[in-house]
A and B are shown apart, each in its own frame.
Chain A
């Protein structure tokens, strides 16, 4: 189990100070907010979507280093992807990028808050643009089962 200083390597600390894709998209097509009651991480993700593709993504909010680093990495992974590919993003895509595969249970929520917000944003968008309610329900269940 990683804990203490070993998870706080250079990349995490750097990302927490200089997050990637930080900010707001004023004319976003979808935005979503969620927070972690335990440590107060609080994240908004805005996305611009064109032709079933995420053409721009930004996030803002306050969070611990783990949360900020993971959100940065997730937005980088997401940018430019088709919505179908965004659906397929899973937790290990983020964790392995940052060497956090063995994160303690109490910190996993910090690491995965952004993924939860991203998926929620996605089904919010799909819900308002598609008639296919079955698919949306499936997506919803997937988002709810993230933790």
Chain B
């Protein structure tokens, strides 16, 4: 597909929800894509087709439906492996989402490997899902949690990392590839190189990166990688944990139950092959298939085009924002270092009031701490407003946002 405004405009037709109106018959301007994205017909239809024509449990029976269902489920795994360039499909585990993926690592890798005095390093701009599991683990193990700090442009101070690595006690460094608040794209290559040199494992939270740019796990070189389907056109309740095989082999099971076993006896059990050892119970089959359809959809557009479209929109929005007196944007102004997420505050108006007023104009904008309270503290704000773009957003959406901010200015006499 050509990356032109008109081709992206055309793809809005695939998203039925974009045809509806909200509040007083206003056009829906959906700008909360960092939270979750809308779903195209191709994904909705794949799920419907599964339930209407193929529904059966997987991996357990020989009849026709079970065979079709298992095939579709495993085909989705291959599509996803291909999408993020994973060579070994045994390393891809289906989970509920990024949160479950990180908790799985904290439990199944962390518990056997983290001991008293060990250090786990995270960053100041993490989502709560990449902080709280590590707090739980380090508290239980009497280990320590440390933070890589951030400069005022929203970029990490890697000197902090050097300092922690020099202690020789770091066991894991965990960071998001793109901040869900600032949009900062983390210099993963540099962090991974430093960690590799120190023999330290790395976990990447790819929840914001994978939906918006090309990610190649084969060249990236981290050890754990997590992302969520619902932020990239797929249904809610399905996500991916990828773990390098040599690390995966050192992990204990997470949930015990059906499908994850080879043989169960009264007092002992042997485990199934990878990745099934980590996929206990009947999985979310329909949504895995929906995820596969979302991958097909994005592949057809091309992730480089997705990124290019968002760069265009974000540049356009940042230029317009810069002209509004009193509007402060957080994070770097360098478009090559940020994704399509813009967090801002408007003079002394609380973000909750901004969101409420512009909601009446049909605009869905997020206000609050965005599950990143450590970052809010660092920025010294209670909350921010956040606009985040995806493939179906257009300059018209940005214009609508700007117009609605003028209403906020009027109400608050700015």
- A contacts, CB < 8 Å to B: 3-5, 7-8, 13, 16-17, 38-42, 62-67, 107, 110
Contact = CB atoms under 8 A, between A and B. Distances in A.
Contacts of A17: 348
Interface of B: 23, 348-353, 356-357, 359-360, 367-369, 376, 382-383, 407, 411-413
B360 A40 contact: no
Residues of B contacting A: mostly: mixed
Contacts of A7: 356
A5 B357 contact: yes
Contacts of B382: 40-42, 62-63
A16 B367 CA distance: 18
A38 to B, nearest CB: 6
Contacts of A62: 350, 382
B411 A13 contact: yes
5 contacts: A5-B357, A13-B413, A40-B376, A42-B382, A66-B353
Contacts, number: 59
Contact of B351 (A8, A39, A107): A39
A90 to B, nearest CB: 24
Contacts of A40: 351-352, 368-369, 376, 382-383
Among A17, A39, A107, find the residue whose CB has the most chain B CB atoms closer than 10 A. Answer: A39
Contacts of A65: 349-350, 353, 412
Given A3-B360, A40-B383, A107-B356, 6 more contacts: A5-B407, A5-B411, A8-B411, A8-B412, A38-B368, A39-B367
Among A5, A13, A62, A63, find the residue whose CB has the most chain B CB atoms closer than 10 A. Answer: A5
Nearest to B373: A40
B356 A3 contact: yes
Contact of A13 (B23, B352, B369, B412): B412
Contacts of B350: 16, 39, 62-65, 67
A62 B353 CA distance: 13
B364 to A, nearest CB: 13
Among B356, B360, B411, find the residue whose CB has the most chain A CB atoms closer than 10 A. Answer: B356
Contacts of A8: 353, 357, 411-412
